[in-house]
Amino acid sequence: MQTVKLLLPLILALALPAEADKFYKWVDESGATHYTTTPPDNLPAQTVDVTTGKETSSTADEDSQGKGDEEAGEETAVEDAEQKKSRREQELARFQQQNAENCEIARNNDFNLTHRNRIRVKDEDTGEQRYLTPEELTEWRSKTKSQLAEFCTP
């Protein structure tokens, strides 16, 4: 019985790659990576070999069936470079948007800390509302100035 308990996971692990079909890796518009057994309809996907973990572009595989290996490799490299460039541009756009939001928050905080002497906050220990002390106000103003310098510079 002990032998069966030890061999059963091994047999199942060896049977999994034989059972698996193609897996597709693709990135949606929001930048989330998905792994599915069916390719998306309107987005480029890469085929993932589950035994080796290597990825190949599924659109390049379909387009290059009559072409030589060199042409298929060049086509895949061009598509990979375009995908990387597109991802970098998307990441840069998200970063710039987040920076703009952080800058706006820092400006609002700076205005409130500069023009209002009594700032009410929720006490972390008791959960009750309290006013910042003069020392805390000075500290918060300093932090806000550093946030302005970090997020609001072009």
6-53 pLDDT per residue, tens: 565 656 565 555 445 577 887 888 888 887 888 887 778 888 776 666
Is the distance from CB of 137 to CB of 110 less than 8 angstroms?
no
User: pTM for this structure?
Assistant: 0.46
Is the distance from CB of 24 to CB of 48 less than 8 angstroms?
yes
- What is the per-residue pLDDT across 53-87, written as a single tens digit (0 to 9) for each? 667 765 534 443 444 555 666 777 788 888 888 88
Q: What is the pLDDT of residue 42?
A: 79
Q: What is the CA radius of gyration of the chain?
A: 27
- Average pLDDT of the segment spanning 133-151: 92
Confidence of residue 145 (pLDDT cuts 50, 70, 90): very high
- What is the per-residue pLDDT across 100-125, written as a single tens digit (0 to 9) for each? 999 999 999 999 999 988 899 999 99
146 contact partners, CB below 8 Å, separation of at least 6: none
Collapsed DSSP state (helix, strand, coil) of residue 68: coil
Q: What residue type is 79 in one-letter code?
A: E
Secondary structure element (H or E) that encloses residue 86, with its range: helix 69-115
Q: What is the DSSP letter of 119?
A: -
